């Protein structure tokens, strides 16, 4: 009997992507591309938003044999583009069932070295765009009484870090908004679920040059954890497990003592010293 129930449970989990439309921002590179591949393998229809036409072409060519893939060139720092392309998606593809707000950028500088453009671009893409994109598709999810919104934040949304002040600010914003949205959807019984993802550094070009005692996360494993988390309706998808320990330390230790643990013991505060990022 237990074996039968377990089989039914697995089938229920595995069906959450099947025949669903999945939209991934930043879906033509990094973990976005990997998550798109996983979604297609689970029977979903994939919609990619990305700013890079060449990466889009390569990704569509790579993935189209797995299922239906529709791609759009979008600069999500531009709210007018978001609105225009969202309208096209609704007309050409239909209702989005699963939205993964994945696109992001990082500027690895001391705050006083940031230009106004650096600050605006980081906040527009990392903090504002997930809200704008979600606003375009949420009403349809509420009407159909089902849907899932997954917001890729960062462990930098929990831990302050030198040379990441604006990036950290943008990810703190995402975490606060994302979990508040989850509570709103739950309280109103909309049937729309929300997951917030807070990974440590991922070994992609976005964080090239980062040096860390805590091993960088592998993109494939991160993508799998996120997709599995959506299937299981996980509220918070945090990785690696040591991030939970760090958050406990933040609650128990004084700021000065936590700074010593994070800065001198774990050397987190030095991780961006040799950052280069994507060229």
Element (H, E) at 48: strand 45-50
Cα–Cα distance for residue pair 91/179, rounded to 1 Å: 30
* Whether 38 contacts 14, CB under 8 Å: no
Residue among 164, 196, 193, 163 nearest 177 (CA): 196
* Whether 177 contacts 185, CB under 8 Å: no
Cα–Cα distance for residue pair 227/224, rounded to 1 Å: 5
- DSSP characters for 66-113? GS-EEEEE--TT-HHHHHHHHHHHHHHT---SEEEE-------S-GGG
Give the max Cα distance, the chain: 63
**Token couple for 31:** 């973990």
Cα–Cα distance for residue pair 103/174, rounded to 1 Å: 12
**Token couple for 36:** 């798109």
DSSP 217: B
Active-site hit among 72, 110, 132, 167: 167
Q: Is the four-CA dihedral 277, 199, 176, 270 of positive or negative sign?
A: negative
Active site residue 167: yes
Catalytic positions, please?
167
């Amino acid at each position: 009997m237990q074996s039968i129930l377990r089989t039914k449970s697995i089938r229920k989990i595995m069906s959450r992507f099947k025949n669903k439309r999945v939209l991934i921002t930043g879906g033509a590179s990094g973990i976005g591309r990997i998550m798109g591949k996983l979604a297609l393998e689970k029977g979903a229809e994939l919609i990619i938003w990305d700013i890079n036409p060449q990466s889009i072409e390569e990704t569509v060519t790579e993935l189209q044999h797995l299922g239906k893939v529709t791609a759009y060139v979008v600069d999500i720092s531009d709210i007018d583009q978001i609105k225009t392309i969202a309208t096209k998606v609704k007309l050409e593809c239909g209702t989005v069932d699963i939205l993964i707000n994945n696109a992001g950028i990082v500027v690895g500088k001391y705050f006083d070295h940031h230009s106004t453009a650096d600050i605006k671009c980081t906040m527009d893409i990392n903090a504002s765009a997930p809200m704008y994109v979600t606003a375009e598709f949420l009403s349809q999810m509420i009407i159909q009484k089902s849907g899932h919104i997954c917001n890729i934040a960062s462990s930098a949304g929990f831990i302050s870090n030198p040379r990441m002040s604006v990036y950290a600010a943008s990810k703190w914003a995402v975490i606060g908004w994302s979990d508040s949205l989850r509570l709103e959807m739950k309280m109103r019984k909309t049937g729309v679920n929300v997951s917030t993802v807070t990974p440590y550094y991922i070994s992609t070009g976005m964080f090239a040059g980062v040096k860390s005692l805590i091993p960088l996360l592998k993109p494939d494993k991160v993508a799998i954890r996120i997709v599995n988390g959506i299937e299981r309706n996980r509220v918070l998808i945090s990785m690696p497990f040591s991030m939970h320990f760090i958050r406990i330390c933040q609650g128990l230790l004084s700021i000065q003592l936590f700074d010593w643990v994070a800065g001198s013991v774990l050397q987190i505060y030095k991780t961006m010293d040799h950052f280069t990022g994507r060229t």
